[in-house]
Structure formats: structure tokens, C-alpha cells
């Protein structure tokens, strides 16, 4: 018992683990692509606005992770969990402390968002408020929509469309079809990350009456959906050749995607899906970086 306790993260490390670094590519990717798209307008990148947008995205992602940790922890959903350590469920931090950490991230995200609104458009304040409400009610509140199978839809909207188009908007102060097109591969890959997470937790979520999309459609269909998301991501990334022909370079990552999909389709379960979660995050970052370079060429 003593060795098991001593192996648990402590101090700052436990908060680093609670922030779930493997999910952060989902926050970096849309800002990277949306910011790079400004080159399509033959304008220089506004580095200050780009960094502020990145800070907002990262803080909101971490806030979501702490919010989920808190809400799932007090509901008992994370008991006997297979995935990464959760602070509340493991007893590494109290529910009050984790809730405070989530609130703190929301506050700093709001400050960065206000800075961007001051420099671009005050409409960003309303958008930021919607993002914060969506982040908290994913697993928080009386009727969290994440418990009813709407998690993937929310992720596509906020960590795909809103984050990518928003990052382009704070550079250009306009919205274009190109910004929506490059948002699709980023959004679908963010959905794929969540899909792996929910597939891993499917048995426990079903017992806890957490009706994620994976629980609703079943294990087999959840695996097919994951493959579909990866295919859509590649197809939409290739379609970005209408903006820059160099976007076709994303095809080089098809073998990596095929290997990931093969592992999922072949029935990887529980802890075996944890490294796949990290690989999908890296795939998203690779495709985003390639798209960004393509847009800058």
C-alpha cells in the first residue's frame, strides 16, 4: 500500500497530471492553422494576437479538464477508472481545490480574451462567455450534455470551428470559407481524440449511466465512427489544396493514421487505448503543422 501511495504524483506534478498534457495538442492545432491562414490574405501575422489566442485556447482546454475532473469526481463517475489519474477520484486533491483550479483557468482565459476583444472586436466577449458555459456544462450542472452523447458535437464546434476560425478572425477581423475549410480536419481530429477517450471508458461509463456517444451507439459502431473521423480529417485536409496545393503533403501521414485505425478496429480496449490517445494527439499536431506550413508557403 505504501509503495502505491508513494508512486502517486504530488505537489505541482499532480496539477500537471490533472491538466492532462496529452489533450493540449487539441488546443494548439486550431490556433496554429487559423493564424497561418492570414498569409492567404498576403498580410503579416500579428504575433501578439496569435499568442493571446493560443493562451485562451490552452487555458480553456485545461479548464475543461479540471472541470471534468471535478464534476465526474463528485458524481462518482471516475471510480475504478482505467485512464489517466483524476485528482478528485484518486484523493490527490479535494473537489473544492480542483473546482478552484478550473475557475482560475477560466479567469485567466477571460483576461486574455478581453485583451483580444479590445484589440479586435467586442463580440469576442459574447463568444468567450458561450465557450466558458459550454466548457463547464459538458460534465457540470444538473444536466451535463456530455452525459447525453453531445460531447463530440461540442468538441467539433468549439475546438474545431470556433478555435480555428476565431484564431483567423483575430488576425484578419473577418470570416471566410477558407477558415471554415481548414477548421474541419482540426475539428474532426479533436473529435477522434474524444472518441478514443470515450471508447476506453465505455464499460465504466455505461455502469455510471454516463451516456456518451460511444455508450449510445455501442463498441463496434464507436470504432467505425473513429475511423470515419480520421478519414474525414484526411479528406478535408487534402481539400485545403484549393487554398494551398502544398496541403496535399498531409497525405504522408496516412500510414500513421492507418496503423492507429487498425489498432482500434482490431479491438484495443481499456489501458491499450491510452497510448492510442497520445498518438491521435500527435497526429493532429503533425497535420496541423503541415497545414500551417502549407498556408505559409
Answer for the pair 9, 173: CB distance below 8 angstroms, yes or no.
no
Dist CA 100 CA 70 (whole Å): 10
114 Cβ contact list (under 8 Å, min separation 6): 125, 128
**pLDDT tens per residue across span 57-92:** 999 999 999 999 999 888 877 665 666 778 888 888
Q: Which residue has the higher pLDDT, 21 or 111?
A: 111
Of the ranges 66-75, 160-169, 211-220, 281-290, which one carries the lowest mean pLDDT score? 66-75
**pLDDT tens per residue across span 238-263:** 999 999 999 999 999 999 999 999 99
290 Cβ contact list (under 8 Å, min separation 6): 237, 247, 249, 250, 252, 253
C-alpha cell at 184: 474541419
Dist CA 98 CA 84 (whole Å): 16
CA proximity to 147, closest of 77, 73, 193, 212: 212
**pLDDT tens per residue across span 7-35:** 577 777 889 888 888 888 899 999 999 99
Q: Where are the domains of the chain?
A: 22-296
Class of domain 22-296: mainly alpha
Dist CA 254 CA 211 (whole Å): 32
What is the arithmetic mean of pLDDT over 175-180?
A: 96
How far separated are the first and last CA of the chain, in Å rounded? 56
Answer for the pair 123, 54: CB distance below 8 angstroms, yes or no.
no
Computed on alpha carbons and rounded to an integer, the radius of gyration of the chain in Å comes to 19
Dist CA 144 CA 137 (whole Å): 5
Dist CA 287 CA 124 (whole Å): 27
Amino acid at each position: 500500500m505504501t509503495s502505491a501511495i508513494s508512486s502517486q504524483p504530488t505537489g505541482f506534478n499532480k496539477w500537471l497530471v490533472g491538466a492532462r498534457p496529452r489533450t493540449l495538442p487539441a488546443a494548439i492545432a486550431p490556433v496554429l492553422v487559423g493564424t497561418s491562414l492570414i498569409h492567404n490574405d498576403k498580410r503579416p501575422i500579428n504575433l501578439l494576437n496569435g499568442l493571446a489566442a493560443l493562451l485562451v485556447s490552452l487555458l480553456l482546454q485545461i479548464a475543461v479538464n479540471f472541470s471534468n475532473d471535478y464534476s465526474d469526481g463528485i458524481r462518482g463517475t471516475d471510480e475504478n477508472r482505467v485512464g489517466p489519474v483524476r485528482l478528485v477520484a484518486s484523493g490527490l486533491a479535494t473537489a473544492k481545490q480542483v473546482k478552484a483550479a478550473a475557475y482560475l483557468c477560466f479567469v485567466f482565459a477571460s483576461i486574455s480574451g478581453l485583451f483580444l476583444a479590445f484589440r479586435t472586436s467586442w463580440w469576442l466577449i459574447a463568444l468567450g462567455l458561450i465557450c466558458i458555459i459550454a466548457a463547464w456544462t459538458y460534465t457540470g450542472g444538473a444536466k451535463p450534455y456530455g452525459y447525453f452523447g453531445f460531447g463530440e458535437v461540442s468538441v467539433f464546434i468549439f475546438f474545431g470551428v470556433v478555435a480555428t476560425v476565431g484564431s483567423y478572425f483575430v488576425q484578419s477581423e473577418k470570416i471566410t470559407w477558407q477558415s471554415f475549410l481548414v477548421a474541419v480536419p482540426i475539428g474532426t481530429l479533436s473529435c477522434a481524440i474524444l472518441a478514443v477517450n470515450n471508447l476506453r471508458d465505455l464499460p465504466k461509463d455505461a455502469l455510471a449511466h454516463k451516456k456518451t456517444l460511444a455508450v449510445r451507439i455501442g463498441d463496434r459502431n464507436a470504432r467505425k465512427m473513429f475511423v470515419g473521423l480520421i478519414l474525414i480529417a484526411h479528406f478535408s485536409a487534402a481539400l485545403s489544396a484549393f487554398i494551398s496545393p502544398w496541403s496535399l503533403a498531409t497525405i504522408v501521414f496516412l500510414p500513421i493514421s492507418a496503423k492507429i485505425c487498425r489498432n482500434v478496429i482490431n479491438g484495443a480496449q481499456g489501458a491499450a487505448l491510452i497510448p492510442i490517445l497520445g498518438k491521435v494527439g500527435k497526429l493532429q499536431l503533425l497535420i496541423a503543422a503541415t497545414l500551417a506550413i502549407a498556408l505559409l508557403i
